[in-house]
Structure 1
Amino acid sequence: MPIYAYKCSSCQYEKDVLQKMSDPLLEVCPECKQSTFTKQVTAAGFQLKGTGWYVTDFRNQGGSKPADSGTASTPAAPATPTSSSSS
């Protein structure tokens, strides 16, 4: 279902509404009750419902595991140069 952004031109109230494409447009502002509530032109937003989507089916299967953020590796101490000078 698409998510539409609405804005009132009277009181500047904004709201995102989840509604079917066949639903009538909202015209009355829920805040000020004026009939100046209009749909905004925005990027498409939608919700994926049901099974068969990546988030529900493949979240923890395969692929590489993320780095463990709980353990911090300590860098090795730099090696001290050994001087073998003979006089």
Structure 2
Amino acid sequence: MPTYDYICDACGHEFEAYESIKADPQTLCPGCEKHTLRRKIGPGAAILFKGSGFYQTDYRSDSYKKAAKADTSSGGSSSGGDAPKSTPAPAPPASSSGGTTA
């Protein structure tokens, strides 16, 4: 249920009321007891969805999820900068002592 702001045109009393969307606006001022109350126009509140299934990433395609998982598991950076690349060390030479002696 939303919260509405009210103001009285007679006495200037302002207050907030937590009421249903279907409820009729109040007209009786609790301060001066006159029927000069009106509902103010406010920005309203944003709708907040909680739980799974409401986030943008929940609706991604399987191919996108696989590519994103491969990108994060490879340790790649998505910054796109010119970072120096490390080269792997050369493999040591193979030993020729395959069990035969000369």
Q: TM-score, normalised by structure 2?
A: 0.44
Please say if 1:38 is aligned against 2:34.
no
Corresponding residue SS for 2:29: coil
Identity %: 26
- TM alignment of 1:12-31, pairs within 5 A: 12-31=12-31
Aligned equivalents of 1:37 and 1:46: distance in 2?
26
Q: Is the 8 A contact 1:4 1:45 kept in 2?
A: no
When Rg is computed on C-alpha atoms for both structures, the one with the higher figure is 2
Cα 1:10/1:38, change in 2 over 3 Å: same
Task: Tell which has more relative contact order, 1 or 2 (C-alpha 8 A, sep 6+).
Answer: 1
Query: Deviating runs (4+, > 4 A) in structure 1?
Result: none
State the partner residue of 1:84: none
The alignment status of 1:3 with 2:10, answered yes or no, reads: no
Structure 1 residue runs without a partner (length 5+): 53-87
Structure 2: where are the runs of 5+ without partners? Answer: 52-102
1:46 deviation in Å? 7.0
| TM-score (norm. length: structure 1) | 0.51
More helix per residue:
2
Cα displacement (A) at 1:24? 1.3
Question: Distance between the aligned counterparts of 2:15 and 2:47, measured in 1?
Answer: 16
Q: Secondary structure at the match of 1:32?
A: coil
Matches of 1:47 and 1:10, distance apart in 2: 34
Taking only aligned residues, the RMSD between alpha carbons, in angstroms, comes to: 1.9
Asked if the contact 1:7–1:37 (Cα under 8 Å) also holds between the matched residues in 2, the reply is yes
